[in-house]
Structures are given as structure tokens and as C-alpha cells.
Amino acid sequence: MPSGVRTPGLEELRALASRLGLRLSDAELASYRGLMGGVLNAYRRVEEIAPSAPAVKYPRAPGWKPAPQENPFNGWYRRTEIKGAERGPLAGKRIAVKDGICVAGVPMMAGSRVLEGFTPDVDATVITRLLDAGATIAGKANCEDCSFTGSGHSCASGPVRNPHRPTHSPGGSSNGSAVVIAAGDVEMALGADQGGSIRIPAAWSGVVGLKPSYGLVPYTGAMVMEMTLDHIGPMADRVENIARLLSVMAGPDSLDPRQRGVLPANHVRDYLPALGQSVKGLRIGLLKEGFSLEPNEALGLPGGEPVVDRKVRAALKELGTRGAIVDEISVPMHRDGTCIWLAIHVEGPAEVIKSNGLGSGWQGWYNTALAEGFAKGFRARADDLSHTVKLVLLIGEYMRQQHHGLYYAMGQNLRTSLRQAYDEVFKSYDLIAMPTVPFRATPLPAPDCSIEDYVAFGLNMIHNTGQFDVTGHPAISVPCGMEDGLPIGLMLVGRHFEDMTVIRAADAVERIADWRTM
């Protein structure tokens, strides 16, 4: 808890006024200082009556730091053995949790030195639901520093490595979750996705990852990045386990405002019936703008690999032989969607970081313990943040000072237009398909690489993913092939809250053949 609110001295108040651009006389400062008393007393009373954190239902120990031989790819941050209910749909299932999601009593670092030493006092809502369903929490999986990188090299615990080729990136930011599945340690894990952080590591590590419809899965108890982009979703070794996890996690949580007015009362509760269904008559649009990508020099994005396009098209052609209707379609705004996402994803999270990971102006449960831990760490160790996070902070601060949030607002105002561009396709098609990432996993950068290379390797794979965090459509990455030992992912996007359909189609892709031979 906070250490208590004190009344500022006159010199402290003078400095505060100066930072706000106010020129106040000594007499005015004294008046304002006196007037602050009543408000500060209200703050003190709020501290006295503040409710305790939500109760923790299941006993646990803080776990242990795995030895290198237990953790050859650095996928794990912490190993645990937290057992849930004796019975339930996840009984006997061991699940890893991205380290940006709170598990009470277990140290949490979120891939960043600024949180080193912090231990949450609450379970995220999704953790309680998994434990109520009989799951065992097998540990916290490493992730990128504050989840701001799509590679594997910014994790403060050391680089996270691709089990298929340890010199290469596993994708990010939920890389540890993907890696411990790919390595065979667990069958299922939780990830979080604000710009592709579930789907990118799924594609590069050869696992399945679903970013659900915005608002379907509660985010309460996870580290906030940007309220309008935040998603928690399942990652797994196969589509069946995606359906199993989603069935347990989905549903309303009164503490999460992301769901309010968004989640329909008739949302699907059980996603297992999507498995083994025919794709006959399913209409799939191959998004022209998601394939054959040329380098985008303006955004610093490399071009795609022909082998990725070829493998993705081959899998979709195979669905066509099974009765799906597969046509090429065009959404010209798709490529501008990356720019819209960046306008939101830089300034929004920069402000959240400055507010110690809380943000403001929303009705829900605020994780005050996490905010206090982040505030202390940020004051003491801001220089230890990754280059990517520092860049986000610098751009965010620059844009706020020079343009007063107008470009963030423009990006948010374009959200509806981008959503409508895809929804126009969904009038005629059930799904939109494209490569998750237009090229295979890249090598991890050298530890002494330049700042330019550090950032480039962390953000060069975002061509096709961030758009659907902006629009909220469900999007799944499923392995559809391998080339030279590196996996390739196919992304399927569906209508809002038709997550059942994307799971159905992903399951059909999985049934074509072992993706390692495709």
C-alpha cells in the first residue's frame, strides 16, 4: 500500500507550478497550499477505506527459478506447481502463464528489470478460471521487456530462443509461452496480444495461438498496455486445446470495462463443437494485401518470403479441395492499418507507462500493488528499460508535447473505418486469410548490436497482425508448413465473436497433414 499522502512544502509546490507553466507569487502558493488540505484529507480517507485485493482461492508456493538444464531455450521465468480444483474440464492439464499476467504469490517481472522483485497479491481473473476448471499452473513464461518487442532479445532474463533453431527468434512478445509449448514442457499456455504478441510467436515457434474477439476474455489482473488493444488469449500445441482453454476463459467479468457494452449476452460458451467440422461451403477470402509484400521503407519493414506465400496458399487450396470456397479479395486499407495501429500503440502505452501501468479514465479494477511496484522500479531503473521501450517513451512524449495527443486521437478515429473495411468483406466471406508473418523467424541480434538493429529486429514482423488488435476481430495463427527447419503460420480472421468459425477452420488446416511435412 502507499506510504501515505503528505502536504507539499512551498518550494516543492513552486517547482510543481513551474512544470505546469504557472507563475505564482509566494502569497498565491501559500493560498493554494492551504486549499489543498481538504482534498488531501479525502485521499487519506480513501486509503483508510480502500477495499482489499480480490481473494486468492488456491494455496501455492512462490515456485523456483529453473536451472539452465531445465530451461534450455529460456522460455520459463519461474516454475510453479499451483493446483486448482480436483475436477473440471482442465483437470490434469498443466498450463504456463505469460509473465505479464498476475499469479498471486509468484514473482512477476514482465520481462523487465523495472519490475524485478515484485510479487502480485492477486490472481488475474483468467487464472482463477483456469484453477476453478482443475488446471495446474506450471509456471510463468518469459516475455519481452514490458511486451514491447516481437522478437526474443529484449527479455531482461536473457534472450528467449526458438526450439526449432536456437540461434533464431521465437517471435514475441509472448515468446516464452510459445517456446515452452514447442519444447514439449506443456500443452497449453496463456499469452497477451496488443499487436500480434500471441500470433507472431505462434507462427515462428510452430504452435497455435488465438487472439480472441476484443472483450471475449477478461483482462483483469494483467499488465495494461493500451485499454483499447488489450487481449488475453490461449496458445497450445493443437487447435483442440485452444478450444478447451477458450471455453474456460471466455465470459463476462464485472471488473473489466473492455467487455462492457461489447460482449453479447449470447456469446458462445463451449468451443469444442467447432472441432472436426466440415469446411464445405465456408467462404474464405485470401487477402491480396497480406501476401507478396514488398519492403516498406517508410516504416522500416522488410519484404516477405515467397516460400511463406506459397505454403499459406497451398494450405488454403487444400481447404478448397475439401469444399471451402477460396477467392482472392482486396482490402486496400489493410496496409494503412499498420500505421493506424502504430499511432495508437505508441502514444497510448507511453502514457500508461508514465502512469505506472494503470492508465486512467476507465471503470474497472485498478491493480494498485502492480502500479506501486512499477513506479518504484521505474524511478530507480528507467535506464535498464530496453531500447524498444525507451523509443516508445521518447516518441510518445514528443508527440504529446508537440501535437497534444492529436495523432493518437486520429488513430482512434480511424478505428471505425478500418473495422468497416474488413466488415465489408465479411458480408460475403466467413474468413479472411493471410500469412501471420510474411517471412520466417529471423536470427536473434547479437548482444552488442546497434540500437538501430536492436529495434529493427524487434519490430520488423508487424505487417499483418496489429490491424486486428485495432478492429477487435478474432484472429488465429495455425502452423501450415515448414521450410529449412523453420515453421510458417497461416492467420485466419473472422467476424466479431465468431471465434468458433476461426477455430473450426484452423482445426481443418491442422487435419490436412502434419504441418512439419507440408
Residue 81: phi, psi to the nearest 5? -145, 70
**pLDDT for the residue numbered 361:** 85
Domain match, 16 and 164 both: no
Residue 384's alpha-carbon distances to 277, 377, 380, in angstroms, are 50, 10, 9
Q: What residues have CB less than 8 Å from 46, skipping those under 6 apart?
A: none
Domain match, 164 and 44 both: no
Domain match, 296 and 371 both: yes
Residue 381 C-beta-side C-alpha neighbours within 13 Å = 16
Domain match, 212 and 296 both: yes
Residue 396: phi, psi to the nearest 5? -60, -45
Task: Specify if 117 maps to a domain.
Answer: yes
Type of residue found at 462: I
Task: Specify if 63 maps to a domain.
Answer: no
Domain match, 385 and 255 both: yes
Task: Specify if 62 maps to a domain.
Answer: no
Domain match, 505 and 443 both: yes
**pLDDT for the residue numbered 407:** 97
Q: Name the DSSP letter for residue 112.
A: -
**Residue 62: other Cβ atoms inside 10 A:** 12
- Counting the structural domains of the chain, the total is 2
Task: Specify if 57 maps to a domain.
Answer: no
Residue 11's alpha-carbon distances to 8, 20, 89, 222, 379, in angstroms, are 8, 14, 61, 38, 21
Q: Name the DSSP letter for residue 56.
A: P
Strands (E), 142-262: 188-193, 208-211, 231-236
Q: What is the pLDDT of residues 426-484, one digit of tens each?
A: 999 999 999 999 999 999 999 999 999 999 999 999 999 999 999 999 999 999 999 99
Full pLDDT tens readout for the chain, 518 residues: 556 899 999 999 999 999 889 999 999 999 999 999 999 999 899 988 988 888 899 999 999 999 999 999 999 999 999 999 999 999 999 999 999 999 999 999 999 999 999 999 999 999 999 999 999 999 999 999 999 999 999 999 999 999 999 999 999 999 999 999 999 999 999 999 999 999 999 999 999 999 999 999 999 999 999 999 999 999 999 999 999 999 999 999 999 999 999 999 999 999 999 999 999 999 999 999 999 999 999 999 999 999 999 999 999 999 999 999 999 999 999 999 999 999 999 999 999 998 888 888 889 999 999 999 999 999 999 999 999 999 999 999 999 999 999 999 999 999 999 999 999 999 999 999 999 999 999 999 999 999 999 999 999 999 999 999 999 999 999 999 999 999 999 999 999 999 999 999 999 999 999 999 99
Task: Specify if 56 maps to a domain.
Answer: no
Domain match, 39 and 141 both: no
**pLDDT for the residue numbered 3:** 60
The domain containing residue 40 runs over which residues? 10-49
Type of residue found at 98: K
Task: Quote the pTM value.
Answer: 0.95
Domain match, 76 and 37 both: no
Task: Specify if 5 maps to a domain.
Answer: no
Domain match, 14 and 99 both: no
Give the active site residue among 98, 140, 211, 311. 98
Task: Specify if 2 maps to a domain.
Answer: no
283-287 and 325-329 strand pairing: parallel
DSSP 245-277: HHHHH-S--TT-TTSTTTS-TT--S--GGGTT-
Beta strands across the sheet bearing 486-494: 76-83, 136-141, 94-98, 188-193, 231-236, 208-211, 475-483, 486-494, 431-435, 283-287, 325-329
Give the active site residue among 154, 169, 173, 177. 173
Task: Judge whether 197 counts as a catalytic residue.
Answer: yes
Domain match, 73 and 37 both: no
- In the structure, how many helices (H) and strands (E) does the chain have? 14, 11
Domain match, 38 and 72 both: no
Give me the helix-helix angle, 26-49 and 10-19, nearest 10°: 100
Domain match, 36 and 134 both: no
Residue 14 to residue 24: CA distance in whole angstroms: 8
- Which among 175, 246, 234 is positioned nearest to 209, based on CA atoms? 234
Q: 121, 371 in Cβ contact below 8 A? A: no
Task: Judge whether 174 counts as a catalytic residue.
Answer: no
Residue 187 to residue 509: CA distance in whole angstroms: 19
**pLDDT for the residue numbered 1:** 52
Give the active site residue among 147, 151, 197, 247. 197
Task: Judge whether 173 counts as a catalytic residue.
Answer: yes
Task: Specify if 54 maps to a domain.
Answer: no
Quick one: cell of 107? Answer: 514473482
Q: Name the DSSP letter for residue 444.
A: P
Q: What is the CATH number of the domain that holds 452?
A: 3.90.1300.10
